[in-house]
Amino acid sequence: MKLYLYLSFRHLDVLRNNRLHFSGVTECQDPFEINRPTVRKAPEKTPISEEDFQTELRRQYAALPAHMQGFVTEAYFCEQAALKRPAIEKQMRQRQQPKTKKLPDARKLESLALCRLFKAPDNPVLWERYSDNYRGFVIELDGGHSYFMHPKYNEQPQLLRPVTYSNERPSVKARVQPFPALFYRGNGWSFEEEVRLVRPKETADKMAVAAGKEFFFYKFPPTIVKQVVVGCNASAEDRQQLKQLLSVDLRYKKVLQSNLWLDPDFYALHIKPA
């Protein structure tokens, strides 16, 4: 399995220091990312028509045991029940209110850090969004390496899972466990083909704060780096900087260096060895 990390040249230290950048899970700005609950409630003053109210009274009378119906007529029961109209209407509104799904608790995500990886190196939206509008680079990683596949990192659990795309928000009983809110996204994001690597913050090798946000750094074995693809808009200086790093640093002597090319006839990207 191949995994791809989209970066700008501001993050060349990923290769220099052989460490992945993670962000705190709850740092995400998208409210869907932490599954923030939005409860839809019927307005408290929703009007109840006279017809609906009378239908409700007749339903309540019909639900009485037979021996109770023997004591009062339907007309008398409805007349007396109508005196309690505010309470009965409140009960009717409560039944009309849609049931709210129990969503995962976002507080359980506060101790976790996240690294976003992807399945393809030629996604134009990802190049634009995460690789500085084609001026950055993409690193191909060996997703089958024990660094990713082992259930633990630094003696603590880790999770590597592809994101499940669905327009239905996950409940606490979702198929993907644990942390279902973390591995679901809406169908509108399915083009990303994202794979998420999650670890406890406490297992990070280093932590830093930038622009008011916390970042967590985790060392990786250089052997998991298989290819580096340079964006088509990368500057000559950045290209030379990367070329020098890969040629001088013996840890990356077997890494394939490639370039991103634009197809002349279609809106498509091609990757070719440098």
For 29, phi then psi, to 5°, come to -85, -25
Does 179 fall in a domain?
Answer: yes
The answer on 265 and 199 residing in a single domain is: yes
C-alpha–C-alpha distance, residues 218 and 201, integer Å: 10
Number of domains in the chain: 2
| Pair (63, 170) in one structural domain | no
Nearest to 29 by CA among 211, 197, 217, 161: 211
The pLDDT, as a whole number, for residue 92 is 86
| Closest residue by Cα to residue 153 from 6, 39, 20 | 20
pLDDT of residue 177: 85
Q: Are residues 218 and 86 both part of a single domain? A: no
For the chain, report the end-to-end CA distance as a whole number of angstroms: 23
**Average pLDDT, 10 consecutive residues per value, the chain (274 residues):** 97 96 83 64 71 91 88 90 90 75 78 96 97 98 97 94 90 84 90 96 93 92 98 97 95 96 96 95
pLDDT on residue 90: 86
Q: Are residues 85 and 15 in the same domain?
A: no
Question: Residue 249: which domain range?
Answer: 2-36+113-273
Rounded CA gap, 121 and 136, in Å? 12
* Residue 148 covered by a domain: yes
For 267, residues 6+ apart whose C-beta sits below 8 A from its C-beta are: 124
The pLDDT, as a whole number, for residue 223 is 96
- Is there a single domain that holds both residue 245 and residue 158? yes
The answer on 191 and 84 residing in a single domain is no
User: What are the backbone dihedrals phi and psi of residue 11, each rounded to the nearest 5 degrees, phi first?
Assistant: -110, 30
